[in-house]
Structure 1
Amino acid sequence: MTTVPTDIEVRPPVRAEIRALARTLGRAFSDDPVMAWMVPDPTRRAKGLPTMFAAMTRHHFMAGGGVEVARRGQDIGAAALWDPPGRWQHSRREEFRMMPWFLWAARGRVARGQQLTELMKEHHPEEPHWYLGVIGSDPTVRGGGFGQALMRSRLDRVDAEHAPAYLESSNPDNVAYYQRFGFDVTGEIKLPDGGPSMIPMWRAPR
């Protein structure tokens, strides 16, 4: 595993940074197969994804304390949204607060978003675990160690707690990357209507 550059800072964001964090994730997922299935039009997707990620961060992930950004100077190069054990499901209050933003981001593709959510719930492990809901690097810095810095930061805590971890890879090209961090493929989540597959991955306690 390559060494993380020493000038990359990993830390929790403040609320004033949520928009910048969401823009980074929006760019990271602009060509993601699952996001393209949900919102096929690339222009709408580019506008909608930052709104969706901002709502998820503000109304769910920040409260769990599992949000981290990787920065070089003032620029957020990557972000990760984790849920601690027992907190991966959205509360009704959280869903209510996020729904208007999701409706706007989906632009008429709400049914596909609901299908995706239900399939992910069906396959989600019951054993308490850390859940990596989202991680992404800005394409302009991809390969520069930002994602690796985020993975190492949170997995160090996961290992200190002797806890398992779980994620779904929305891009098959990323499976090998997660395997480098100890995640193993546990199955396949096939999306309907000719959609792509998500790959569930589990990391046993260390």
Structure 2
Amino acid sequence: MGVAIRRAGEGDREALTRLLDEGFYHDPVSTWIFPDPERRRRHHGTMMGAFLDAALADGYVDMTEDGSGVALWFSMPGPDAAGAADAAVDGGAQGGHGEDAGRAAARALREAVDPDNERVEQISLILDANHPADRPHEYLMLIAVSPDQRGRGVGAALINSTLERCDREGRYAYLEASSVRSSRLYERLGFHLDSRTVDLPDGPRMLPMWREPRPRTAG
């Protein structure tokens, strides 16, 4: 039986925030950001909600019809488009730089989630600084599946719904695996480890992964 998938909207926010909170609560990156369990209990869900809001506003969110799985995606431009956008910003009367915008966004995330926790800001800056800009791609920021549905192909179905479009349009896909175990799951979907890693200060190692578009077969 296939997994029914649809595009999420604002009306799904509360349920999907809970799903993301549950799915990432014990993730190595989440425990690095919130090493204190009590602080994590109070602020982790707020951070997941902020990530979800960003995807709803500037990307897109796929979910299963039964609400058991969710994937947050962003369509990232190539170097030509990014350069044109930066030039347009710099040409304004109060022009700024993409780096300044990234720092402002990271500060805003920290203020919204946990103002006294510098790691909320750090994770945004680190991922932004290490995010590749050499080719257009679809970026899988987060994916979560409810515990009772894991191992049933829900996550693969969510990812494949976008990967099929990547193959049709000749687009790359990119993500950062937060553990070797999760990277092996992504390898089954055609992702390959990058030559570099993203090492969080005194924390876990994240593993960037790429997937090249697959040629469509005739017939």
- TM class by shorter chain equals 0.7 to 0.9
Q: 1:175 to 1:96 in 2, by over 3 A?
A: closer
CA distances 1:52-86 after superposition (whole Å, capped 9, x unpaired): 2222222x2113452111133xxx11111100132
The residue type paired with residue 197 of structure 2 is E
Within 5 A, what are the aligned runs for 1:88-99?
92=101, 99=108
In structure 2, the residue corresponding to 1:135 is in which secondary structure?
A: strand
Picking from 54, 57, 79, the partner of 2:70 is 79
RMSD between superposed Cα atoms in Å? 2.7
Which residue matches 1:68? 62
2:172 pairs with 1:164: yes
CA distances 1:151-206 after superposition (whole Å, capped 9, x unpaired): 111111111111001111122220100111111111211111x2111111111122
Cα displacement (A) at 1:124: 1.4
Cα displacement (A) at 1:113: 2.5
Cα displacement (A) at 1:117: 2.2
Within 5 A, what are the aligned runs for 1:107-118?
108-110=116-118, 112-118=119-125
The residue type paired with residue 45 of structure 1 is R
Which residue matches 2:27? 32
Q: 1:12 to 1:90 in 2, by over 3 A?
A: farther
TM-score normalised by L of structure 2? 0.78
Which residue matches 1:201? 209
Cα displacement (A) at 1:116: 2.1
2:186 pairs with 1:191: no
1-structure distance, mates of 2:51, 2:100 = 12
- Higher Cα Rg: structure 1 or 2? 2
Cα displacement (A) at 1:139: 2.2
Answer yes or no: is the 8 Å Cα contact 1:12–1:68 preserved in 2: yes
Between Structure 1 and Structure 2, how many residues are aligned? 193
Answer yes or no: is the 8 Å Cα contact 1:56–1:98 preserved in 2: no
Within 5 A, what are the aligned runs for 1:121-132?
121-126=128-133, 127-132=135-140
In structure 1, the residue corresponding to 2:148 is in which secondary structure?
A: coil
Cα displacement (A) at 1:144: 2.4
In structure 2, the residue corresponding to 1:140 is in which secondary structure?
A: helix
Cα displacement (A) at 1:107: 6.0
Q: 1:191 to 1:98 in 2, by over 3 A?
A: closer
Cα displacement (A) at 1:90: 10
Within 5 A, what are the aligned runs for 1:129-140?
129-140=137-148
**Unaligned runs of at least 5 residues, structure 1:** none
